[in-house]
Amino acid sequence: MKKIYLIVLLLVFQNYSSQNRKEIDSLIATPYEVIVSEPNSVIQKFRAAITSSEENDNKNNAAKLYSNLALAYSSIGELDKYREAQIKAIKLFEELNNEIELTSAYGSFGYHLRRTNIKQAIYYMQLAISLGEKNNLKKKLTAIYDNYGTIFEQLENADSALYYYEKGLDLKLALSDSIGIPYSLNHLAGIYANLGNLDKAFEIMHISDEYRAKEKSNYGRAENAVIFGELYAMAGKNKNAVKKFNKSIALAKTIGNKYMIQYNYKQLANIYENEKSYKKAFTNLKNYNSYRDSISSTEINEKIAQLEIKFETEKKDKEIAKAKLIMRDQKELIIYTVGLLIVLSIVLISIYLFQKYKRKQIKIEFELKNQLAEVEYENKISDEKLRISRELHDNTGSHLTFLISSLDNFTYIKNPANDFSKLKELSSFGRTALNELRQTIWVIKNRESSLDQLVLKINELKNHIISDIDIKVINKVSSEIILSSIQILNIYRIIQEALQNSIKYSKADKVDVVFADTDNGFNLLVKDYGIGFDTAEIKLGNGINNMRFRCEEIGGVFILDSNKGGTEIFCSFNIN
C-alpha cells in the first residue's frame, strides 16, 4: 500500500513539475508586443516564475524571466524596478557566459541609460552590437540598431541615427519582421520630421500604419496615432493633430497605458493654449494632472504594499536587530535630511539670485532693443523724408524752375506776337508738372500697391506723352504681385526715363514696355526699335545712371543693351 501511495505521489509531483516547466517556458517565450501592451497582466506571473526558477536553481530561466520583467516595468515607466530586474538578468547571463542573451540585455540596458549616462549607454550599446554581429544574431540586432539610432538622434547626430535606423529596417525587411518594421519606420519618420521633410515623414508613417493595422494589440496603433499628432502639429494642422491625439487616448485606455494617455492630454493642452482656446486647454491639462497623480499614487501604494510584505515576513529573531537598524537609519536620515535641506536652501537662494540677475539683464536688453528700434525708426523716417525730397526736387522742382525761368524771360521778349504760343507751351508744361506731382503723391500716399495698378499708371503716362511713337504696355504677369511705395515709384521713374530717352534720341516708331513672370518675381523690359548706340563709345548720362541706381536700390538687376536694331532697358526683380 505504501509503495502504491509513493508511486501516485511521485506521478503527481512529476505532473506538477512538468506543468510548471511548461508554464515557465511559455512565460519566457512571451512575445514583445504582448509584454509592452499588457504589462500589468504579466508582471505578477513573471515574478512568480522567477521565484520558482530561483528555488530550483535554474539561473538560465531566471535570467530570461528577469529580462522580460524588466521590459514590462519599462513599458509602464517603473524605471527603478526596470533597472533592478535588468541588472540581475545581466549578472546571471554573464555568469552563464550566455552571449546570445547578453546581446539583448546589454542593448536594452544601454538604451535605458541614454537619459542619465550617455557614455555608459554608448558603451553597452557597442557591447551589444559587437556580440550580435559576432554571433550573427540578426533578429536581436534589429532592435539594437533601432535603439542605437535613437541615442544618436538624442545627440543630434542625424546622419548616424539615420544610418542605424535604415540598417535595422533592412534587417527586419529581410526577416519579414512585421512587428519590428513599423518601429523602424516610426524612427525614420521622426528623423525626417526633425530635418524639416514632413512630406517624407508622413509617407513613411502611412506605410507604418499598414503594418499596425494587422497587429492584434492596440499598443502600436496608439503609438502611431501619437506620432501622427506630433507631425500634424509641426505642420500647423492642429485639427488633424487633435483628432490623432484623441484617437491615441482611446487606444491607450484599452491597454491601460497611463503614460501614453498622460502625454496625449499634455499635447492637446499645448495645442489649445496656442490657439487661445483656454477652456479646452484647461480641461485637457486637468486630465493630464489627474493621470499624473494616478500614476504617482499607484507607485506609492505599490511601495507601501512591498514594505508591508517585507515587514510581515520578517523573522522574530531579527526584530531587535531591525529596531536598532531603524534607529541608526533614522539618525542617518535626519543627518541626510538636514544636509539636504542646507543644500536645497543654497540651491534655492542661488536660483533666486540667478533669476533676479537674469530679470535685470532681460530688462536691460529690452531697454536697449527699444532704443535701437527707436533709432532704426528715426533712420527710416529720415530716409523716407530724403527720398520724398529727392523726388520733389528731381521732378516737380525742375519743372517749376523751368516755369519760373520761362516767365522771367517774358520781360525780355521783344516780339509780343510770340506771347500766345509761349504761354500755351508753358501751360502744357505746367500740366505735365502737375501730373508728375500727382503721380508722386499717389505713390507716397499708398504704402503698397499691386503691379496691376502700376501698369494702369504707366498707361496713363503713355496717354500724356505727345509723340508719334507707338507705345505699347504689355503685362504678361499672371500672379498678383504686391509692391512697396519705393518699388512702385522707382519702377515708374525707370519707365518714364526710358520712354523719354527713346522719344528724344532713338528715332524709333515703336516702343514696347513688357512685364513678364519669373520664378521669384518679374522682369521689366523697355525696348525701342530705333537706331541704337554703341555703349562702349558713348559716355552714359545721368538718365541711364539714375535708372540703374533706382533699379539696384530696390534689389533689382539692371542691364542696358543697344545696337543698330534698337535699345533695351532690362530690370529683373525678386519679390518676397
| Per-residue confidence (pLDDT) for residue 445, from 0 to 100 | 61
Q: Of 429, 421, 490, 492, which Cα lies nearest the Cα of 456?
A: 492
* Domain assignment of residue 127, yes or no: no
Q: What is the mean pLDDT of residues 264-288?
A: 90
Domain co-membership, 305 together with 323: no
Model confidence at 536, pLDDT cuts 50, 70, 90, reads: confident
Q: What is the mean pLDDT of residues 264-287?
A: 90
Model confidence over 187-212: pLDDT tens digits?
Answer: 999 989 988 999 999 999 999 999 99
Domain co-membership, 309 together with 331: no
Which element (helix H / strand E) includes 574? strand 566-574
* Domain assignment of residue 172, yes or no: no
Domain co-membership, 278 together with 341: no
- What residues does 521 pair with on adjacent strands? 574
Please check whether residue 553 is in contact with residue 494, taking contact to mean a CB–CB distance below 8 angstroms: no
Domain co-membership, 342 together with 358: yes
| Per-residue confidence (pLDDT) for residue 296, from 0 to 100 | 58
| Per-residue confidence (pLDDT) for residue 430, from 0 to 100 | 66
Domain co-membership, 238 together with 326: no
* Domain assignment of residue 193, yes or no: no
Please check whether residue 244 is in contact with residue 229, taking contact to mean a CB–CB distance below 8 angstroms: yes
* Domain assignment of residue 564, yes or no: yes
For every residue of 176-190, which 3-state class applies, written as one string? CCCCCHHHHHHHHHH
Backbone angles phi, psi at 264, to 5 degrees: -65, -45
Model confidence at 309, pLDDT cuts 50, 70, 90, reads: very low
Domain co-membership, 235 together with 346: no
**This prediction's pTM:** 0.44
- DSSP letters, 427-468, are HHHHHHHHHHHHHHHHHHH-SEEEHHHHHHHHHHHHHH---S
* Domain assignment of residue 156, yes or no: no
Please check whether residue 271 is in contact with residue 233, taking contact to mean a CB–CB distance below 8 angstroms: yes
Domain co-membership, 438 together with 332: yes
Mean model confidence pLDDT for the chain: 82
* For residue 312, pLDDT beyond 50: no
* Domain assignment of residue 65, yes or no: no
Number of residues that make up the chain = 576
* Grid cell in block for residue 4: 502504491
Residues near 531 by beta carbon (within 8 Å), at least 6 away in sequence: 506, 507, 508, 564, 566
Distance, CA of 528 to chain centre: 51
Give the count of beta carbons closer than 10 Å to the beta carbon of residue 249. Answer: 25
* Domain assignment of residue 70, yes or no: no
* For residue 2, pLDDT beyond 60: no
* For residue 418, pLDDT beyond 80: no
Q: Reduced to 3 states, what is the DSSP secondary structure of residue 526?
A: strand
Of 313, 342, 362, the residue at which a domain comes to its end is 313
Structural domain that includes position 496: 448-574
Between 435 and 10, the higher pLDDT residue: 435
Of 445, 461, 487, the residue at which a domain comes to its end is 445
* For residue 106, pLDDT beyond 70: yes
* Domain assignment of residue 77, yes or no: no
Domain co-membership, 476 together with 392: no
Winning range, highest mean pLDDT, from 11-25, 99-113, 362-376: 99-113
Residues near 256 by beta carbon (within 8 Å), at least 6 away in sequence: 40
Q: Any idea what the CATH number is for the domain that residue 476 is in?
A: 3.30.565.10
| Per-residue confidence (pLDDT) for residue 201, from 0 to 100 | 92
Give the count of beta carbons closer than 10 Å to the beta carbon of residue 126. Answer: 15
Domain co-membership, 554 together with 483: yes
Domain co-membership, 413 together with 320: yes
Could you give the count of Cα atoms lying within 13 Å of 372 in the half-sphere of its Cβ?
6
* For residue 184, pLDDT beyond 70: yes
* For residue 397, pLDDT beyond 70: no
Please check whether residue 559 is in contact with residue 498, taking contact to mean a CB–CB distance below 8 angstroms: no
Q: How many structural domains comprise the chain?
A: 3
| Per-residue confidence (pLDDT) for residue 382, from 0 to 100 | 63
Domain co-membership, 319 together with 432: yes
Model confidence over 465-504: pLDDT tens digits?
Answer: 777 889 999 999 988 899 988 898 899 989 989 998 888 8
* For residue 561, pLDDT beyond 80: yes
Of 313, 334, 356, the residue at which a domain comes to its end is 313
Please check whether residue 39 is in contact with residue 69, taking contact to mean a CB–CB distance below 8 angstroms: no
- What residues does 574 pair with on adjacent strands? 521
Residues near 419 by beta carbon (within 8 Å), at least 6 away in sequence: 410, 413
Backbone angles phi, psi at 519, to 5 degrees: -60, -35
Domain co-membership, 429 together with 322: yes
Q: Any idea what the CATH number is for the domain that residue 286 is in?
A: 1.25.40.10
